[in-house]
């Protein structure tokens, strides 16, 4: 597929995706979502990629939201379809077998914050501004925001964020648990790349199964989630990851993992 709205850079075992619509602050429309959908299919099937970073082009926005000019023309059933497409793509990101890091380099509003919340880890620059302003436009969050936000922060705080349409600076978002780290703007991408490379150096199957255990368990009660964890713990004992990792520990050397 030819990508017109997103860029892909590969560096060792990591992939960096940049949403490239700086003139509209990287706003999401149907074409961007279609390209993200195809891109994450490509990365899912690429055994060389062990971690992914997603960011926005320019120095103003990660993703400033869904494209309002595009949405303003939608009929009700077209809006339902648009929401379901966004939900599908963001769920694909959330369930990718490799960890995904959001490098939030500016505004992450509405669909931009929903995209960031679909990622495993969020790192914000000091310039980042985060929020869900939909009700200010007479809308509600439609790409999973009402559901993911209540799982990331407590329900009362999520309701405050969604009801008020307030924007929050990076440090406030970090205190809420919406982002993991806040770093200077000029260090953001290098910080995320260093983290991605650390992840990529670990056992790829073990990382994949850890993500599966977490995501599956979040939708279960504790006892059922323990059973999932135990089953995946047993499964990892069949892998080369386990043999290499434990062997390297016992032999007092650094492990060298292959995609097996």
Same domain, 44 and 79: yes
Q: Give the mean pLDDT of 207-234.
A: 96
Same domain, 218 and 130: no
Which of the residues 31, 114, 126, 219 is marked catalytic?
A: 114
CATH number of the domain within which 229 lies:
1.10.12.10
**Within this chain, do residues 50 and 137 fall inside the same structural domain, yes or no?**
yes
Indicate the residue among 185, 200, 215 that finishes a domain: 200
214 and 139: one domain? Answer: no
- Among the listed residues 12, 31, 134, 160, the single catalytic one is 134
Give the pairing of strands 14-19 and 6-11.
antiparallel
The pLDDT assigned to 205 comes to 95
Is 240 annotated as catalytic? no
Q: Is residue 38 part of a domain?
A: yes
pLDDT category, 20, cuts 50, 70, 90? very high
Same domain, 186 and 225: no
CATH number at residue 73: 3.90.226.10
Q: Are 81 and 126 in contact (CB under 8 A)?
A: no
pLDDT at 165 over 50: yes
Determine whether 134 is an active site residue: yes
Domain match, 127 and 17 both? yes
> In terms of DSSP H, where are the helices of 67-144?
68-71, 76-94, 111-118
Same structural domain for residues 122 and 44?
yes
At 1, the pLDDT band (50, 70, 90 cuts) reads: confident
**In terms of domains, do 169 and 234 share one?**
no
Structure tokens given for 129: 């501004």
Q: Which domain holds residue 235?
A: 204-250
Whether residues 39 and 163 share a domain: the answer is yes
Give the closest residue to 3 by CA, choosing from 52, 47, 59, 42.
42
Question: What pLDDT sits at residue 55?
Answer: 98
């Amino acid at each position: 597929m030819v990508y017109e709205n997103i860029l892909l850079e590969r560096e060792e075992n990591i992939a960096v995706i940049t949403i490239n619509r700086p003139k509209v602050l990287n706003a999401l429309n149907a074409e961007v979502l279609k390209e993200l959908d195809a891109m994450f299919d490509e990365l899912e099937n690429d055994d060389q990629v062990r971690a992914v970073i997603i960011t926005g082009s320019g120095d103003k926005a990660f993703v400033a939201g869904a494209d309002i000019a595009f949405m303003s023309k939608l009929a009700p059933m077209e809006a339902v379809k648009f929401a379901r497409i966004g939900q599908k793509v963001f769920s694909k990101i959330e369930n990718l077998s490799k960890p995904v890091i959001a490098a939030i380099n500016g505004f992450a509003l509405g669909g931009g914050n929903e995209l960031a919340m679909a990622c495993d880890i969020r790192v914000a620059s000091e310039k980042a501004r985060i929020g869900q302003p939909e009700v200010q436009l007479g809308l509600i969050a439609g790409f999973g925001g009402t559901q993911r936000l209540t799982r990331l922060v407590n329900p009362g705080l999520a309701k405050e964020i969604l009801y008020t349409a307030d924007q929050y600076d990076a440090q406030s978002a970090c205190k809420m648990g919406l982002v993991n780290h806040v770093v200077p703007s000029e260090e953001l991408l290098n910080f995320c790349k260093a983290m991605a490379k650390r992840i990529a150096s670990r056992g790829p199957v073990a990382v994949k199964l850890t993500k599966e255990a977490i995501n599956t368990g979040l939708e279960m009660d504790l006892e059922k989630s323990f059973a999932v964890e135990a089953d995946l713990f047993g499964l990892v004992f069949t892998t080369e990851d386990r043999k290499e990792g434990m062997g390297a520990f016992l032999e007092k050397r650094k492990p060298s993992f292959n995609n097996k």
